[in-house]
Structure 1
Amino acid sequence: MHTIARITVLTLALGLSACAVQRPEPTTSLPPIPPSQPGPTPSTSPTPGKSIPAKPAKPVPRTSASFAPPPGGNSHWDQKLGVYVLDDQTNTFYRQRTYYRWNNGWSRAVSPNGPWEDTNIHGVPPGLGKKFGQ
């Protein structure tokens, strides 16, 4: 038992002595920071002859994080309307396995080719009802 204790104490002593023997690395002196001076206040109005570049438009998301796109059709997600807009069919939309079509009134179907059944503003997603209110 004494042998194990002696080995442990010696190991700890050697390990700790290695920390005490190391010298710190020399630090390089950095140049002093110049004192800050108040500068001229920037103008918020554009200078004549100089145009302010326009911010690039954000790319339109092609898909929704919450709703799956329509199967087999070219479409893009419209955030304001909250539906997919079919690119190849005018005023035809898709959300949650249902197609919606505006043609002087609302109709809906489970296929983009119909058969279409008439519905009212309460049978379409809220964004569509706001845009094409009846």
Structure 2
Amino acid sequence: MNRLMTAALAATLLSLAGCTLHSPAPGTGGTTGSPSAPPGSPTVTKSHPRFAPPPGVSSHWNGTLGVYEIDSEHDTYYRERTFYRWQDGWSWAGTLQGPWEPVDSTGVPPALYRHHAQ
């Protein structure tokens, strides 16, 4: 029994040994602009290391807004399994097809809300 537990622990540790986290080298990582982008320009990349992109939808990560922008839809965004849409007010949905429900500022990521509050 002790041998079986030791083997299971060893297998678990070996499988975890391949998991590492690292940051890309400066100037790499899929940015759409040059590494010397002008100050104040939006931080745009294809993906984000923490937030998964929307499934089955073409999008890109906007670091300034803290959300994915949906490429095929105007003023439509995604973060953490939620789509957000601006059409003279905010609404949210679990899928791009809806149903869309109205939401106030407390239900929208702060930087995104401020972007459309201007």
TM-score past 0.5 threshold: yes
SS at match of 2:117: coil
Alignment of 1:67-78 (within 5 A): 67-78=51-62
2:77 to 93, 102, 107: 93
2:34 to 57, 64, 88: 57
Matched, 1:84 2:93: no
**Residue 66 of structure 1, CA deviation:** 1.1
Give the Cα separation in 2 of the matches to 1:126 and 1:72. Answer: 25
- Normalised to the residue count of structure 2, the TM-score between the two structures is 0.63
1:109 to 93, 114, 117: 93
Asked if the contact 1:121–1:133 (Cα under 8 Å) also holds between the matched residues in 2, the reply is no
Computed over aligned residues only, the root mean square deviation of the Cα atoms, in angstroms, reads 1.7
- Normalised to the residue count of structure 1, the TM-score between the two structures is 0.56
Give the Cα separation in 1 of the matches to 2:96 and 2:67. Answer: 14
- Gapped regions of structure 1 (runs ≥ 5): 1-55
Give the Cα separation in 2 of the matches to 1:132 and 1:122. Answer: 14
**Residue 88 of structure 1, CA deviation:** 0.2
Alignment of 1:43-54 (within 5 A): none
Give the Cα separation in 1 of the matches to 2:108 and 2:51. Answer: 15
Give the Cα separation in 1 of the matches to 2:98 and 2:74. Answer: 14
**Residue 57 of structure 1, CA deviation:** 2.2
Give the Cα separation in 1 of the matches to 2:78 and 2:117. Answer: 18
- Gapped regions of structure 2 (runs ≥ 5): 1-32, 38-43
Give the Cα separation in 2 of the matches to 1:132 and 1:117. Answer: 18
Asked if the contact 1:108–1:117 (Cα under 8 Å) also holds between the matched residues in 2, the reply is yes
- 1:122 maps to amino acid: T
**Residue 127 of structure 1, CA deviation:** 1.2
**Residue 82 of structure 1, CA deviation:** 0.2
- 1:68 maps to amino acid: A
**Residue 65 of structure 1, CA deviation:** 1.1
SS at match of 1:113: coil
Alignment length, in residue pairs?
79
